[in-house]
Amino acid sequence: MDLPRSFTIRESSHRIHNPLTSEKMATLGQALRLSPGASILDLACGTGELLSTWARDHHVRGTGVDISTVFIDKARARAEELGVADRVGFVHGDASGYVADRPVDVAACIGATWIGGGTAGTVELLRQSLAPGGMMLIGEVYWRHEPPDQTTIENCHATSRDDFLPLPELIEQFGGLGCDVVEMVLADQDSWDRYVAAQWLNIRRWLDANPDDELYNQMRAELTTGPARHVRYQREYLGWGLFALMNR
């Protein structure tokens, strides 16, 4: 049970595994006005940057769950580095079925709503761990602009236009799921660049160090085509946001 090795190669230097910068993550933490001692469950937590930095800055506590052994090891090391290992813990496991032992103040899934089969299923999964009056954090992709053709759709990691919603319709979907949107932080094109371009350097350094690896040709092809695909399609048409929700 683990992530494909290509994913951990691609994001080997990343502390945040989505197009949210550390500054934007900090902005959201401040905006939520978290109480010291508040509890957080972060499903598909990656390398645990949200949990560890918010534990440092806001004195919260929490648990992160991720399927990647590489990322969980890095998350534990990051918690030690920031001096918060006594307040946050990390579990290697399948986040798609994980429910907290006791209700939490914040239940999060940031950019991995496939664990619930989509936005609606992820909201229902997070609700199972949420204390009354608590918040859910959902990170989700949306269309910045209407994609003009199927080529654009496929180059934005989708199979059809319906795979993502425009931002107003995504907000309305949260309402239809019985949630109030109480905060949001949106990626911009620069933060998308920081996320995606860092992957290119990670891949190039890995290629230079691993010319005989079985994944070499796959990763070489990705680096050859990836930058142009990003600026032609993804940068223009894909948005991403982190939304704070409360049950109505």
Residue 167 has pLDDT above 80, yes or no: yes
Q: What is the dihedral of CA 30, 34, 37, 41, to 10 degrees?
A: -100
Confidence of residue 3 (pLDDT cuts 50, 70, 90): confident
Is 80 exceeded by the pLDDT of residue 41? yes
Beta carbons of 34 and 106 less than 8 angstroms apart: yes
Q: Which of 231, 220, 235, 232 is nearest to 151 (CA)?
A: 232
Cα separation, 154 vs 51, whole angstroms:
33
Helices (H), the chain: 5-10, 22-31, 49-58, 69-81, 119-127, 150-155, 167-176, 189-209, 216-229, 235-237
Q: Which residues of 52-67 are buried (b: 16+ CB within 10 A; e: fewer)?
A: bbbbbebebbbbbbbb
pLDDT at 1 over 80: no
SS3 61: strand
Q: How far apart are CA 51 and CA 76, in angstroms?
A: 11
Residue 246 pLDDT more than 90? Answer: yes
Q: What is the pLDDT of residue 2?
A: 82
Mean pLDDT of the chain: 97
* Per-residue pLDDT at 56: 98
Instruction: Tell me the average pLDDT across 165-176.
Output: 98
Can you tell me the distance from the alpha carbon of 83 to that of 102, in angstroms, rounded to the nearest whole number? 25
CB 64 within 8 A of CB 48: yes
First to last CA, the chain: 36
pLDDT over threshold 90, residue 153:
yes
**How far is C-alpha 223 from the geometric centre of its chain's CA atoms?**
22
Tokens of 66: 């991720």
Domains, the chain, with CATH or none = 5-141+161-187+239-247 (3.40.50.150)
Percent of the chain with pLDDT over 90: 98
Residue 130 has a pLDDT of 98
- Do 60 and 54 contact (CB within 8 A), yes or no? yes
Q: Distance between CA atoms of 134 and 123, rounded to whole angstroms?
A: 13
